[in-house]
Amino acid sequence: MDRRLDTEGATGITVQRALELPGLRSGLPEIVAGADRLGRTVRWVHAGEVPNIASLLKGGELLLTTGYGLGTRPADQRAFVRTLAERGIAALVVELGPRFARLPAALVETARTAGLPLVQLHREVPFVTVTEEIHTEIVNGHYALLQRAEEVHHRCTEALLGGGGIPQVLGILAGFVSNPVFLETPDGRLLYAAGAGPEGADALQVWEGLRGQHKDTPPPAGSVLVDVPGGGLGPGSVRARLVLLPVRGPLAPVHRMAAERAAGILAVVLMQARQEEELAARGRGDFLTDLAEGRITAEDAPAQARVLGFKPGGSPLLPVVMRLGDSLAPGGGGGGWAVLARAVAEELAAVGVPALLGVRPVEGRVLLLVGLRTEAERSAVADRVAAALRAGGERAGMRRPATPTGSSHRGYPQPVVVVGVAGGWAAASAGLRHAAETATAAQGLPERAWYDARRLDIDLLLWRLRGHPDLAAFVERAIGPLQEHDRRSKPPLLPTLQTYLAHAGRKAETARELHLNRQTLYNRLARIGELLGTDLDDPQTVLTLSLALRARRHAS
C-alpha cells in the first residue's frame, strides 16, 4: 500500500505527508510537540481564528491558524489546546507573525501533554494554497483506493466469466488483503474459506479458533464484516456474510472497499446458484412425483434416476415423504427450497446414506428415495433421514405465519415425515404414492420423528372421507356428548379418553402420562362412561371410540 495512506483509520493522508507538500514546506514548519504522532490521518483541512473553533470540527482535521483565537492568558491557551485534542483533530499548525513571534510555553506544554501534534510556521503561507494541496492529495488518495478496489472487482468478474466460482472469488480477495477470508451464513456457519493464517496455518484452523466456537462473540478488533445481499428487504435479505480477519496484518479501508465489491459479485453467484439448485430440486421432485403417479414405469425409472445422479444398484429403495404444514414454508427470499434440498443432501451424505431428493413446492412436499444395504436397516435409516429432514428445514428457515406478541404457534401443523415400504422400483412407485397421501392425512397427529405409512392406513381412509356427512354423523353419535361436555365444562375429558385408549386401557400408564392420581383417573373414566352411556371395557366400544377420535380431525 502507498505509504502516504493511513492503513487503519479513515482514508486520508498523514500529518507527515501534509508537511512535505509544497504549501506547508514553504512555511519552514517546525514540529514543537507530538513528533511521534505524525502518522495521524488528516481527514480534512480547516482554517480559523475563533476561540471556540473546536465546536466546528468533527475530528481528523488539520487546523491552520495565525493564533488570534488562542487567547492571551495561559489558562485560555491551555483550554484551547485541550478542547482541540478532545475533539480528535490531527494537528494544529500556527503561523508565526503579528500575533506570536514564538509559541507560548503554555500552548506547547499542553500540546505535549495531550499528545497533539503542534507545528509552527516561520514564514507566511497562503492558507488557501495549503488547503487546496492537501484536499487534492486526499481526493487522489480516495481515487487510488477506488482504483485498487475496482481492480479486485475486475479480476473477480474475469474469474467468473472464465468458469470460476465462489472459491476463486474468495481466493482473489484473500490474496489482495493478505489475510484469510470466509463466507458464512447469516447465523455464523462456515460456507467457504480462502487464504492462510499466520505461519501458514490453514484458513479452516483460523476460523475454528476465532469463529467456529465463538459465533455469539464479536470478531477480533479490526475485522471486516460485509453482508452479501439476497434481494428483498428486512433481515431475511442477507444471504451470507463476508468475514475478513486481520490475523496476518491489519486491514485497511481499501480492503473493506474490495470486500464490498466482492460481496456484490457473490450475491449474483449465490442467487444464480440458488435458482439452478431449486430448478434441479424441482426437476427431481417432478421425476419422483411422476414415478409415484405411474407416469414413469419401473423399467424406465432406473435409467432416468442415473441421469439425476442416483445409482442405488440393486439395493432396496426406501420411499420417504416430508409434508410441510400449510402454514410452513422455507424462507430465504425465494431460494429456501434449494437451501432445504442442499441441506438435507449434505446431512445424509455426512452419514453415508445415498438418496435422490426432490421438492414439490405446490404441495409443500419433499420426496426421497433412499438406498438401503438391507431391508433390516429400514428403521435405523429412517431415523437418520427424518433427523436430516428436520435439520435441513431449520437451516432453510422454515417459518410459520407471524402471530401476536406473546402467542404461541400451537395449532400450526409441524412437518410430518412418513416412511413407506422398502423394495424395488415397482414398490418404490406405490410406496411414494402411499407415503405422500399418508403424509397429508397425518397432519395434526401427535408429533413424532417419523410415521410408518403402514400404521396410518385407518387415518388415510378417514382422511379420504373428510367432509362427508356420514363421517360427521358417526363422530357425533360416538363422542358427541363428550365434545359438548368439553365445550362447557372443565376439566376436559376427551384428552383423558384419548390417552386411555392409546395405552390400550392400562390405567396405571394413563395416570402417569396425565399426571393424575389413580382415584382421579377412575372418576374421570366413570364420568366418560356415564356421558357416553357405554362400557369402556367393551372391545367393540373401544374400537368405535378409537375410530371416532381419529375421525374428528376430518369431520368438520
Mean pLDDT of 161-168: 81
Q: Would you call 368 helix, strand, or coil by DSSP?
A: strand
CA distances from 534 to 481, 499, 511, 526 (A): 12, 18, 21, 10
Handedness of CA 108, 112, 115, 117 (dihedral sign): positive
Q: What is the mean pLDDT of residues 134-142?
A: 82
Which cell goes with 423? 423394495
Higher pLDDT, 48 or 185: 48
Q: Cα(230)–Cα(245) distance, rounded to whole angstroms?
A: 23
Between residues 40 and 410, the one the model is more confident about: 40
pLDDT score for 408? 38
Residue among 343, 332, 372, 238 nearest 281 (CA) = 343
User: Taking 60 as the threshold, does the pLDDT of residue 403 lie above it?
Assistant: no
Which among 507, 539, 540 has a CA at the least distance from the CA of 521?
507
**Cα–Cα distance between 62 and 75 in angstroms, integer?**
23
**CATH class of the domain at 469-551:** mainly alpha
Asked whether the beta carbons of 103 and 18 are under 8 A apart, the reply is no
Instruction: Check whether 210 has a pLDDT greater than 90.
Output: no
CATH topology of domain 13-137: 3.40.1390
Structure-block grid coordinates of residue 132: 487546496
Residues 6+ apart with CB under 8 A from 141: 2, 4, 5, 11, 12, 13
Q: Which positions ≥6 away from 312 have C-beta within 8 Å?
A: 305, 354, 369, 371
What type of residue is 124? E
pLDDT value at residue 83: 93
| Cα gap 477→468, rounded to integer Å | 15
Give helix then strand counts, H and E, for the chain.
18, 16
What is the pLDDT, as a whole number, of residue 120? 94
- Contact indicator for 289, 204 with CB cutoff of 8 Å: no
545: which residues sit within 8 A by CB, 6+ positions away? 478, 479, 497, 501, 532, 534, 536
Indicate the pTM of the whole model.
0.50
pLDDT at 465 over 50: yes
Cell of 204: 479452516
Nearest partner of 237 among 331, 350, 100, judged by Cα: 331
Q: What are phi and psi of 14, to 5 degrees?
A: -85, 165
CATH C-level class of 165-251: alpha beta
Contact 131, 45 (CB under 8 A): yes
Asked if 198 contacts 248 with a C-beta cutoff of 8 angstroms, the reply is yes
User: How far does Cα 92 stand from its chain's mean position?
Assistant: 47
- The confidence score (pLDDT) of residue 318 equals 93
Position with higher pLDDT, 110 vs 216: 110
Answer yes or no: is pLDDT of 406 > 50. Answer: no
Q: For 228, what's the count of Cα atoms within 13 Å in the CB-facing half-sphere?
A: 26
Please report the pLDDT score of residue 432 as a whole number.
94
**11-14, long-range: CB < 8 A, 24+ apart:** 11/41, 11/138, 11/141, 11/142, 11/145, 11/253, 12/41, 12/42, 12/43, 12/44, 12/60, 12/138, 12/141, 13/41, 13/42, 13/134, 13/137, 13/138, 13/141, 14/38, 14/39, 14/40, 14/41, 14/42
Q: Work out the pLDDT band at 231, boundaries 50, 70, 90.
A: low
Q: Give the pLDDT of residue 159.
A: 83
Task: Report the Cα 304 to chain-centroid distance in Å.
Answer: 35
Percent of the chain with pLDDT over 90: 26
pLDDT at 333: 47
pLDDT tier, 398 (very low <50, low <70, confident <90, very high otherwise)? low
Question: Once rounded to an integer, what is the mean pLDDT over residues 140-156?
Answer: 81
472's CB contacts (< 8 A; 6+ apart) are 555, 556
Cα distance between residue 333 and residue 330, in whole Å: 9
Picking from 509, 499, 505, the residue whose alpha carbon sits closest to that of residue 549 is 499
Q: What is the pLDDT of residue 235?
A: 44
Given a cut of 80, whether residue 246 has pLDDT beyond it is yes
Judge contact between 422 and 378, C-beta under 8 A.
Answer: yes
Higher pLDDT, 216 or 482: 482
Q: Using the CB atoms, write b or e for 63-87: b if 16+ within 10 Å.
A: bbbbbebbbeeeeebbbbbbbbbeb
Amino acid at 499: T
Task: Give residue 234's pLDDT.
Answer: 41
The residue with greater pLDDT, 213 or 224, is 224
Give the single-character DSSP code of 200: G
AA letter at 154: H
Q: Tell me: pLDDT of 9 over 90.
A: no
Q: Of 309, 313, 317, 311, give the one whose Cα is nearest residue 292.
A: 317
Tell me whether domains 276-400+412-464 and 469-551 share a fold. no
Answer whether residue 516 shows pLDDT above 80: yes
Percent pLDDT > 70 in the chain is: 90
pLDDT bin (cut points 50, 70, 90) of residue 66 is very high
pLDDT over threshold 90, residue 19: yes
pLDDT on residue 411: 42
Mean pLDDT of the chain: 83
Residue pLDDT, tens place only, 253-301: 888 888 998 888 888 887 777 776 777 788 888 899 999 999 889 998 9
Domain segments of the chain: what residues? Answer: 13-137, 165-251, 276-400+412-464, 469-551
| Phi and psi, residue 284, nearest 5° | -70, -35
pLDDT tens string 414-447: 788 999 999 999 999 999 999 998 888 888 788 8
**Contacts within 8 Å (CB) and 24+ apart, 486-491:** 491/524
Residue 519: the pLDDT is: 92
Residue 219: the pLDDT is: 79
The answer for residues whose C-beta is within 8 angstroms of residue 130's C-beta and 6 or more apart is: 21, 23, 24, 45, 64
Q: What gap in Å lies between CA 346 and CA 392, rounded to an integer?
A: 9
CATH number of 276-400+412-464: 3.30.70
